[in-house]
Chain A
Amino acid sequence: MIKVRNHAIPPWTWSFLAAVVVLVLTYIVSGRGGSQTITLAFTVAPYLVLVGLGQMLVMSAGPGNIDVSVAKVFSLGGLIAIAVGDVTGSWILGLGAAVGAGFAMASISVIAILYVRIPPIVATLATSLIASAISLTLAKGFQGSPDPMLKGFLNWAPLGIPAFAIMVLLFTLLVSVFLKRTIWGSQMLAVGQARRAAEYAGVNAKKTMVFVYLTCGVLAALAGALRASFSAPNVELGNDYLLDSIAVVVIGGTLMTGGRAVPAGVWGGALFFILLDGLLNLIGWSYAGQNVLKGFLVLAVLFLASGAPILGQRASPDPAKDEDVAEPEVKPLS
C-alpha cells in the first residue's frame, strides 16, 4: 500500500473538495455561515459511512465484488433491532440481534458466492430478496419504538459535534490502520489486486471473501439498527442506501476493480452527498430537480476524478499499478 502514496494527489481529495464546494455554496445561498449545516451533516452522515465502509471492503476485494443487499439488510437490521429491543427492553440486545441478522444474511451471500460459485452481484441480489421477505413479514402489524436513551445519544452533539460521528470517525481510522498496517489488511488488498498471485503467495482468498462480505452485512445491519433508533424503523428505510453507498465509495477514490481501499474517501463522499441534499432543499428544488442535479454531479465528479488521460487507452498498463500489485504479495511471506 505504500506505493499508492506515490500519487501526487491522495485519491480522497476530490470527494472532500466536492463536499467543501457544496458547503461554500450552501453558505452563499443561505447568506450566513455557522456550524449548524456541518452539525446536521455530521449527524446524518455516519450511517451512510458505516454502510459505505462495508461496501468499500467488498469492492476492494477484487473485480466483480459488490454487495447489492445492503439496502434490504439495512432495513431488516432496523426492524429487528427495534422489535427485539422492545420485547426485551434492552437496546443492547436489540443491536446484538441486528448484528446477528446481518451476519446471517451475509452468510447466505458467502455460501452462494464461494460454494455455489454464483457471481457476487446475483448472490447478494438473492440475499437481498430473502432479507426483504423477512422485513415485510416482520413489518406486518409492527409495533415498537426506539429506545429513548439510544435515540438521545444519537442526537447528542456536544459543542456542535455529534458524539456518534466521532465514534464512526474513530472506527474509520481503525479500518484505515487495519488496511495499511496489518497483515490481514495487506492480504485483503493483495487478493483485490491479483487474486491468483496472492494465492500463490500463500494468502487464503476464500477467507478474505468470507471476511469482507460478513463485515459488510454486519455493518449494514448495524447502521440500519442505529438509523432506525435515530428516527423510526421502516421497510423502506434502507432503499436509498444501496445506490448511495456505491456512489460514495467510488467518489471517495476506492477502485471499483479492487485493490485500493480509501476509508477517508467514504467520509468525503458521504458528506458531499448529504450536504448536496441539504443545499438543494435550501434552494427549494423539487425532488425531481434534486435527482437530476445529483446525477449530473456524480457524472461530473467521475469525469474529473477519473485517472485516465482524455483519449487514453483503457487497456494501457499503468506502471504505478504494477508496482502496487507486487508490493503486498511480499508481506505475507516475510
Chain B
Amino acid sequence: MSTATLDQTRLSLPKGLARRVLPGFLTLIAMMLILLVCGTIQPRIWSQNGLTLIMSPIVALAIASMAQMVMMSIGDIDLGIGFFVGMITTIVATLLRDTPILGLLALAGSVLAYALLGALVQLRSVPSLIATLGASFVWLGMGLFVLPVPGGMAPDWLFKYAFWKPPLSIPAPLVTMVVATAVTWFVTRRTGLGVRFRSLGSNPVALVRSGGSLVITRMLAYAVVGVLGVLAGITLTAEIGGGDVNAVPGYTLTTVAAVILGGGMFTGGRAVAWGTLAGAITLGLLTVLLTLLSLSPNLQPAVQGFIVIAVLAGRLVVERMTR
C-alpha cells in the first residue's frame, strides 16, 4: 500500500489533474482504436476527402457537447439542447438567409432566452434538468413555427464553408472542431469567467464570498451555452443543407454521454473541453464503424450502448489500477 500513498502525494500536487485528465485520455485511446479499425476496413478514409466525409457529421455534435460541458461545469444539465440546435437550424435556413438582420436578431434572442433560463434556475432554485426540459418544448414549438416541415436552404456562405478545403490536406471539420474546442477550453480554464463557472459548480458559497454574483454567473454560463448551441446549429445547417427542428433530438443525451466520456462530472466544477471533444468524436465514429461493419442499422443503437458501457467499465478498471 506504500505505492498508494506515494501516488496520493504525487497526485495531490497538480490539484486533481490526473483524475481530470485520465478519463479523457482513455476515451482518446478508444477513439484512436475505433479510427484505426475503421481505417483497416476501409483504407480510403485516410485521405482529406475520406476524413472530411466521416467527420463532418460529428462537428455539430462536438460543439453541442461543448455547450453541455459548460452546462455540466456549473453543475447543471441541459435536456433541451437537441431541440435548441434543431430550432437554430430552422432560423439559419430561413430568416438568416432571407433577412440576415432579422436572423441575427433571432439568434441573439435565443442566446438571451438561455440567459433568462439561467436566471430562473438560480432565482427560484428550479432544478436545471426540469427547467431546460420545459424550455425544450418551447424550442420545439418555435422551430415548428419557423419551419413546420423540414426545408429551407442554408445561406450561401455556409455552403462555401461546407465545400472549403483547407491547405496541407487537413480535413475542414477537424479545423472547426479544434478551433471551437480551443476557444471553449480557453474560456473555461484560462479566464476569470471560467473560474467563476467552475466555482459555481463546485463551491457556490466560495463564489459568493469572493464577491461573485450567483445570478449573474449562472446567467453568463447559460448565455455561453446558448452561444455554443447557436454555433452547433449553424454547423449542422451547413451539414444538412437546410433546417429541421427534429434533426437531432438525440443530441440531448448523446452530448451528456460525450461529456461523461471526456471526464466531466454531474456534480459540476470540472471543465474538460478536450476530453469532451474526444468523447464526441468517439461517439460519432461509432456510427461510422458500425456502418462499415455493415451491421443492420436497427442493431446499431444497441452496439453503441454496449460500447459506452464497455468504455466506462474499462475506465473503472484503469482507475482502480492506478489508485
The interface of chain A, by Cβ under 8 A from chain B, is: 64, 66, 68, 112, 116-119, 121-123, 125-130, 132-134, 136-137, 140, 243, 246-247, 250, 256-257, 286-296, 298-299, 302-303, 306-308, 310-315
Contacts and interface: CB of A to CB of B under 8 A. Distances in A.
Contacts of B142: 288, 292
Contact of B135 (A64, A287, A299): A299
A257 B143 CA distance: 31
B137 interface: yes
B21 interface: no
B266 A121 contact: yes
Contact of A302 (B134, B302, B304): B134
Given A140-B298, A294-B137, A288 B126 contact: no
8 contacts: A122-B260, A125-B308, A247-B134, A292-B138, A302-B126, A303-B124, A308-B123, A308-B125
* Secondary structure type dominating chain B contacts: helix
Contacts of B111: none
Contacts of A302: 120, 124, 126, 130-131, 134
A129 B290 CA distance: 14
Contacts of A125: 253, 256-257, 305, 308
A290 B123 CA distance: 27
A133 B300 contact: yes
B291 to A, nearest CB: 15
B196 to A, nearest CB: 15
Contact of B305 (A126, A293, A313): A126
Contacts of B305: 125-130, 133
Of all A-B residue pairs in the complex, the 3 with the closest CB atoms, nearest first, are A295-B137, A291-B141, A292-B141
Interface residues of B, number: 51
Interface of B: 77, 79, 120, 122-127, 129-131, 133-145, 148, 204-205, 208, 214, 253, 256-257, 260, 266, 296-306, 308-309, 312-313, 316
Given A133-B298, A303-B124, A288 B309 contact: no
Contacts of B127: 250, 256-257
A292 B87 CA distance: 12
Nearest to A308: B125
B259 to A, nearest CB: 9
B308 A315 contact: no
B124 A306 contact: yes
Contacts of B299: 133, 137
A314 to B, nearest CB: 5
Contacts of B253: 68, 121, 125, 128
Given A129-B305, A314-B214, A307 B130 contact: no
A246 B266 CA distance: 18
Nearest to B207: A315
A313 B208 contact: yes
A55 to B, nearest CB: 12
Contacts of B144: 286-288, 291
Contact of A313 (B214, B297, B302, B309): B214
Contact of B129 (A66, A116, A137): A66
B266 A130 contact: no
A314 B215 CA distance: 10
Contacts of A294: 137, 141
Contacts of B300: 133
Q: In this complex, which of A126, A247, A293 has the most chain B Cβ atoms within 10 angstroms of its Cβ? A: A126
B124 A250 contact: no
Contacts of A257: 127
Contacts of B309: 112, 116, 118, 123, 126
B215 to A, nearest CB: 8
A51 to B, nearest CB: 15
B125 to A, nearest CB: 4
A213 to B, nearest CB: 15
B125 A312 contact: yes
A126 B141 contact: no
A166 B151 CA distance: 46
B157 to A, nearest CB: 28
B80 to A, nearest CB: 9
Contacts of A243: 79, 133, 136-137
Contacts of A134: 302
A134 B299 CA distance: 7
Given A243-B133, A295-B134, A306-B125, 9 more contacts: A116-B313, A133-B298, A247-B134, A288-B148, A292-B142, A298-B130, A298-B134, A298-B137, A303-B120
A243 B312 CA distance: 26
A299 B131 CA distance: 6
A133 B300 CA distance: 7
Contact of B145 (A112, A127, A288): A288
Nearest to B317: A116
